Amino acid sequence: MLSTYVYPHFDYLTPAELHGGARRRHPVIVVGAGPVGLATAIDLAQQGMPVLLLDDDASVSVGSRGVCYAKRTLEVLDRLGVGDRCFAKGVSWNVGRTFFREHEVYNFQLLSQPDHKRPGMINLQQYYLEEFLVRRAQELPGIDLRWQNRVVGVQQEGQDGEGGVTLQVETPDGVYALACDWLIVADGARSSIRRMLKLEVEGKVFMDRFLIADVVMKADFPAERWFWFDPPFHPGQSVLLHRQADNVWRIDFQLGWQADPDEEQKPEKVMPRIKAMLGEDREFELEWVSVYTFQCRRMSSFRQQRVLFVGDAAHQVSPFGARGANSGIQDADNLVWKLKLVIDGQAPDSLLDSYGEEREFAADENLLNSTRSSDFISPKSKTSLSFRNAVLTLARKYPFARALVNSGRLSVPAFLCGSSLNTHDGEAFNGQMWPGAAMDDAPIREQGRDGWLLDAVGEHFMLLCSVDDPAAVNASTMAVFSALAAAPVPVEAVLLASGGGAAGAGLRVFEDCRGRYAERYDARPGTVYLLRPDQHIAARWRRLDAAAVAAALTRAIGKH
C-alpha cells in the first residue's frame, strides 16, 4: 500500500530516575500523548504549569482514525498554537450532502453566517493533528515528554487520595516510579489506568462493522461531506466520503455485523467496492484499509479524587458526528484552567467537581446524538428500516422529513447552561450567548489591526464591556476595573465599541468593526459579559455592577 505520510519517530531517552536522578513529586502528570493528552499538556505548559507527559509509543497515531475537526476545536487549537497549521494542511468544508439511492435528499450548511475566523469543519488525518501537537509541545520548555514510557501501575495515596498518586512506569531500560499531585488520564478507549483502578465504563457496543479505505487520487469533487444510504454501488448499506489532506480520500463502507473483518480487508474484496463507487477508469491507490466497530459509553464519573479522566479514556462515541477527539480536546479546554486555579490555591478543590459535572453533561449529549445517528444508519429491525427509508424518500420533497434524516449530527460544543458555575440572567437578551455557552467568534479591530474576538480572549477571566465612547469611561468604572485586575483571581476588563477609539489607563479596546459582536451577543452600550478562561460565558448584565461581577466571579471559580 502507498503511504504519502512519513511517520515521525520520536526518540526515547533514559529517564533521569533510572540513572540515579533525584525522585521528585510532580504537580501534574498526563498519561497518553494522543490528541487529548497532548492538548492538555500544551494548555498546562502555556499557563506556566510544568507537566510530565508519558506515552508508551514513539510515534503518532497509525492509519486512518479521526478526520473531521470542528470549528470549536479549531478555536481551542488556535489558543494552543496549532490552529493555523491544522487549518493550512486540512481541507475546509461547510456543506454536507445526503443521498438516498441515486438522489440527493438533503443538504446542510454548517456555518450559515459569514465573519467567523474558522470554517464549520476541517478534514485532516489524525496523524497530522498529533504531529502538529507534538511539535508544539516540543517548543514549550514546561513539558517533559517521554516516549516509550508505559504506565503499568497506579495507586492513589492516603485517605481520599490526598497523598497524590504514584505510578510505575516501564521503559526499555527498566521500571521506575513516579509521584504526582494530580494525574490526568488520556490513555484512550482501552484505558489501562481505568482498568488498574478497577473503574467501570458503561454503555453499548454497536452490532455493525465499517470498512475504512483511504485512497490517494486526484478528483475534482467539491470539498463537501457526502453520505449515501443504500447507493446503487453498495446496495443495502451506507457509504461516507471525505476529502483529506494530500489528495487522500477517506471512504467508510458499512458492512453489516455478519461481515468477516479479515476477509473484508483483503485487496480482492476492497478494490471492487471502491471501483463500483468511483468507476472502473478512475486511477487511485490504496493508502490504508481497516475494519472498525464502535461503542457508545462513558465512565460514571470523570473525576476520581486526584485522578482526572479526559478524552476516549472517559467516553467513547461512534465516529458519525465526529465527536471523539473533538469532545476530548474540549475536555482539556474545560479542565486545565480549573486545575491551574486549584493548584495555585486560588480556587477550592471543588472547582474540579465542575469539570466532571460539565463534561459528563457534554458526553451525554454526544452519546445521545451519536447513538441516534448510529440507530438511523444501522436500523435494528425491519420496521426501523422501513421507517428510515420512508423518511429518506419523503425528504426529497418535504422539508419536515429532512429534519429527521440523521447521517451524523456533527460535533458542536455543549451549551453548559445548567452548570453550577453560571450566574443566571437577570435581564432579557436575544440570541444564544447564554451563560454556559461557548463564545461565538466575531471580527474585531484592536489598535488598528484586524483580528478575531476568540484570538483576543481566553486563558484568564475577562470582562467585555460595551461602550459608546471608550474615552468617556468615568473614574468610578475605572476604579472597578482596577480592583478586578488586582483581585486574587484577576479579571481583565476590555472595552468594546462600534467605532473603536482609545481608552485611558492602558485599557484594551476592541472595535466591533462589522457589528457582529453587537449582533451575536445582543450587546449595546452598557452590556457586560464575564468570560471564563475557556471562552465560555459565565454571566452577563445590561450595566456594570461591581458587586454582581464579584459574586459571579466567586461562583465561576466554584466558591458557593
Ligand X SMILES: Cc1cc2nc3c(=O)[nH]c(=O)nc-3n(C[C@H](O)[C@H](O)[C@H](O)COP(=O)(O)OP(=O)(O)OC[C@H]3O[C@@H](n4cnc5c(N)ncnc54)[C@H](O)[C@@H]3O)c2cc1C
Question: x/- binding map, residues 42-61, to ligand X, per CB under 6 A?
Answer: ------------xxxx---x
Q: Could you say which of 68, 277, 377, 464 contacts ligand X (CB under 6 A)?
A: 68
Residue 171 interacting with ligand X (CB under 6 A): no
Take residue 103 and report the three cell numbers written for it. 438522489
Q: Is-contact 86 69, C-beta < 8 A?
A: yes
Residues 120-139 that bind ligand X (CB under 6 A): 126
Residue 231 interacting with ligand X (CB under 6 A): no
Residue 66 interacting with ligand X (CB under 6 A): yes
Question: x/- binding map, residues 344-383, to ligand X, per CB under 6 A?
Answer: ----------------------------------------
Q: What is the C-alpha separation between 284 and 278, in angstroms, rounded?
A: 9
SS3 call for 268: helix
Residues 314-343 that bind ligand X (CB under 6 A): 319, 322, 324-326, 328
| Rg, the chain, Cα only | 25
For ligand X, which is the closer residue by CB, 314 or 539?
Answer: 314
Q: What is the C-alpha separation between 53 and 360, in angstroms, rounded?
A: 24
Count CB neighbours of 272 within 10 A.
10
Q: How far is the CB of 310 from ligand X (least distance, A)?
A: 7
For ligand X, which is the closer residue by CB, 73 or 527?
Answer: 73
For ligand X, which is the closer residue by CB, 253 or 461?
Answer: 253
Q: What is the C-alpha separation between 232 and 527, in angstroms, rounded?
A: 56
Q: How far is the CB of 402 from ligand X (least distance, A)?
A: 23
Q: Could you say which of 105, 186, 197, 494 contacts ligand X (CB under 6 A)?
A: 186
- CA 551 to chain centroid, in Å, comes to 30
Residues 208-227 that bind ligand X (CB under 6 A): 212
Q: Could you say which of 37, 96, 408, 435 contacts ligand X (CB under 6 A)?
A: 37
Take residue 499 and report the three cell numbers written for it. 467605532
Task: Give, rounded to a whole angstrom, the gap between the first and last alpha carbons of the chain.
Answer: 58
How many residues sit close enough to ligand X to count as binding (CB under 6 A)?
A: 34
Q: What is the C-alpha separation between 78 and 352, in angstroms, rounded?
A: 24
Q: Could you say which of 15, 35, 356, 470 contacts ligand X (CB under 6 A)?
A: 35
Residue 36 interacting with ligand X (CB under 6 A): yes
Residue 31 interacting with ligand X (CB under 6 A): yes
Residue 259 interacting with ligand X (CB under 6 A): no
Write the burial class of residue 172 (CB in 10 Å: 0-12 exposed, 13-18 middle, 19+ buried): exposed
Q: Is-contact 264 212, C-beta < 8 A?
A: no
For ligand X, which is the closer residue by CB, 56 or 534?
Answer: 56
Q: How far is the CB of 70 from ligand X (least distance, A)?
A: 7
Segment near ligand X (CB under 6 A); pick from 64-72, 88-96, 254-262, 394-402:
64-72
- Alpha helices, DSSP H, located in 19-125: 35-46, 71-79, 83-89
- Residues with Cβ within 8 Å of 40's Cβ and at least 6 positions away in sequence, in order, are 30, 51, 184, 186, 310, 332, 335, 336
Q: What is the C-alpha separation between 186 and 546, in angstroms, rounded?
A: 40
Q: How far is the CB of 325 from ligand X (least distance, A)?
A: 3
Q: Could you say which of 75, 144, 181, 187 contacts ligand X (CB under 6 A)?
A: 187
For ligand X, which is the closer residue by CB, 56 or 440?
Answer: 56
Q: Could you say which of 43, 144, 208, 312 contacts ligand X (CB under 6 A)?
A: 312
Strands 248-254 and 202-205: unpaired
Residue 435 interacting with ligand X (CB under 6 A): no
Integer CA distances (angstroms), 357 to 164, 361, 548, in order: 22, 6, 24
Q: What is the C-alpha separation between 149 and 41, in angstroms, rounded?
A: 16
In three-state form (DSSP H/G/I as H, E/B as E, the rest C), the secondary structure along 284-329 is CEEEEEEEECCEEEECCCCEECCEEECHHHCEECCCCCCCHHHHHH
Residue 406 interacting with ligand X (CB under 6 A): no
Q: What residues make contact with ligand X under the rule CB under 6 A?
A: 31-37, 54-57, 61, 65-68, 126, 150-151, 186-188, 192, 212, 292, 311-313, 319, 322, 324-326, 328
